[in-house]
Amino acid sequence: MTMIYHCTLELHDSLYFATREIGRLYETEPVLHNYALSYVLGLVDNPRFKTVVAEEYSYRYFCAEQVPKYKEHLTPLNQQGIYVTPGKALNYAAILNTWKYADNRYHVEMKQTEKNIPSFGRTKEIAPESLFEFLVMSEQPLTLPRWVRIGKWASKAKLEVQELSKPKHNQAKEFTCSHPLNPLDVMFTNQVLSYDTINMPPVSLIRNVRMIGEYYTFDELPEVKLPVQMQYRFAG
C-alpha cells in the first residue's frame, strides 16, 4: 500500500538558490525542486539504503568533484517505492541583498595595479517564515527529520509531517493538477494536454497541468489531485 505524507516546510533563515540570473541579479523562484527536496530530507545517501546506493556515488561527508549525479542517486529511491513531489509556496515574501567584492588581482601579480575597483551583485531570496508544502509517497513507513538545511546557504527550516489517510484512486480521465510537477516524472504515464512552465535548473517544472490519467484525491486536501505512478525519470 502506498503511504502519502503531507509535508510543510517553514523557513527559519532566508533561502537562496539561483533559479535565474538577470545581469547582476540572482533570483530565487518560490518553488522547491523535487531533486533538491530528496537530498534535503536525507533520502539520498542514507545508511538505510546502502544496499542500493553505490559507494562510488556517495558524498555524505566529502565530495571530490562538483558533478551532479541525479540519476545515480535518485534511481534507487524508485526501487524503494519512494517519491518526493516539488514544493509549492503557501505564503512567502522576497528580500533583496546586495553583495560586493574587491578586485584582488594584486594577490596574483606581485606588482601594483592601476585601481582596486569593487564589483557587486544582488540576490533575491525567500524570506524567513515563508511556508512551502509538498508530498512524499512511499511503499514503507518513513521517519523524516524535524529540522533540515536547504539552499546555497544551508538555511535552517522546520519540517512538519502528516500522514494522510488512504487516498482515493481515481480511474483515468481528464483532470487538472495545480501542484508543481516534474514533467519527466509524469509524461510517460499520463497524457499531458497543457501546462504552465516554471523555468529552473536542472529540469524545468510545470504547474496548472491539464492531463489525462489516473490520479489520487485526499479527504484532508480536497483541492489536490495527484497523478498516480510518479517516479524519478531522466532524459537520455
- Give the mean pLDDT per block of 10 residues along the chain (236 residues): 93 94 90 96 69 43 71 93 97 91 54 60 94 96 95 96 95 96 94 95 95 96 94 89
In this predicted structure, what is the pLDDT of residue 22? 86
Q: What's the Cα-to-Cα distance from 218 to each of 9, 54, 135, rounded to whole Å?
A: 20, 36, 12
In this predicted structure, what is the pLDDT of residue 105? 53
Residues 6+ apart with CB under 8 A from 75: 232, 234
Reading the block at residue 213, the C-alpha cell is: 490519467
* Beta strands in 36-118, from DSSP E residues, in sequence order: 83-84, 87-91, 94-101
Instruction: Give the integer Cα–Cα distance in Å for 138 and 97.
Output: 39
CB-based contact 179:192 (threshold 8 Å): no
Residues 6+ apart with CB under 8 A from 141: 3
In this predicted structure, what is the pLDDT of residue 23? 84
Burial class (CB in 10 A: 0-12, 13-18, 19+), 226: buried
Per-residue model confidence as pLDDT tens digits over 202-217: 999 999 999 999 999 9
Residues 6+ apart with CB under 8 A from 156: 11, 12, 13, 147, 148, 149
Residues 6+ apart with CB under 8 A from 185: 34, 83, 230, 231, 232, 233
In this predicted structure, what is the pLDDT of residue 2? 84
| Residue type present at position 48 | R
In this predicted structure, what is the pLDDT of residue 108? 52
In this predicted structure, what is the pLDDT of residue 58? 47
